[in-house]
């Protein structure tokens, strides 16, 4: 929980710092496309939390996994991508459709994505051979 919590804190801090202090809740023109500040903040925070999350999970949390590192990274990438897509969708849902504040939207999204991510990492990315799933 400490590792996952650390990544959540880092990700949330980066998201909020970018959204409120760098982009100041204004749309961002990047590479010829206009992005909502919460979307670009999510993309940047993900690009930082992804490698940190993999390192923490591989070397601290799921040390019993015998899968090769490149397999773990590939699977972690798939589940992280799924988590990322889920988080972007949920933030857009809560913020753009339900008009919930970006900070609150991010926190609700984080709770939901943490649950998905934990089970995906445990039973897919860093699966331990011979261990039965969902005991």
Single pTM value for the model = 0.70
Question: How far is it, in rounded angstroms, from Cα 62 to Cα 71?
Answer: 14
The answer to whether 12 and 107 have CB atoms below 8 angstroms apart is yes
Task: Give Rg (Cα) of the chain.
Answer: 16
Is 49 in contact with 11 (CB distance < 8 Å)? yes
The pLDDT assigned to 135 comes to 46
* Closest CA relative to residue 57, chosen from 108, 120, 131: 120
pLDDT value of position 112: 92
Neighbours of 29 (CB within 10 A): 10
Task: Return per-residue pLDDT of the chain as tens, 135 residues.
Answer: 677 788 888 988 998 999 999 998 888 888 898 988 988 898 899 899 989 999 998 898 888 888 888 998 999 899 988 988 998 899 889 989 999 998 898 889 988 988 898 888 888 888 777 655 554
């Amino acid at each position: 929980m400490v590792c996952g919590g650390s990544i959540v804190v880092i990700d949330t801090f980066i998201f909020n710092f970018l959204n409120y202090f760098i982009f100041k809740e204004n749309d961002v023109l990047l590479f010829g496309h206009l992005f909502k500040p919460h979307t670009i903040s999510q993309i940047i925070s993900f690009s930082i939390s992804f490698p940190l999350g993999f390192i923490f999970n591989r070397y601290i949390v799921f040390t019993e996994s015998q899968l090769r590192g490149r397999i773990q990274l590939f699977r972690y990438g798939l589940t992280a991508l799924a988590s990322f897509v889920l988080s972007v969708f949920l933030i857009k849902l809560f913020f753009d459709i339900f008009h919930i504040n970006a900070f609150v939207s991010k926190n609700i999204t984080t709770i939901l994505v943490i649950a998905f991510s934990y089970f995906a990492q445990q039973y897919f990315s860093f699966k331990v051979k011979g261990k039965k799933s969902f005991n």
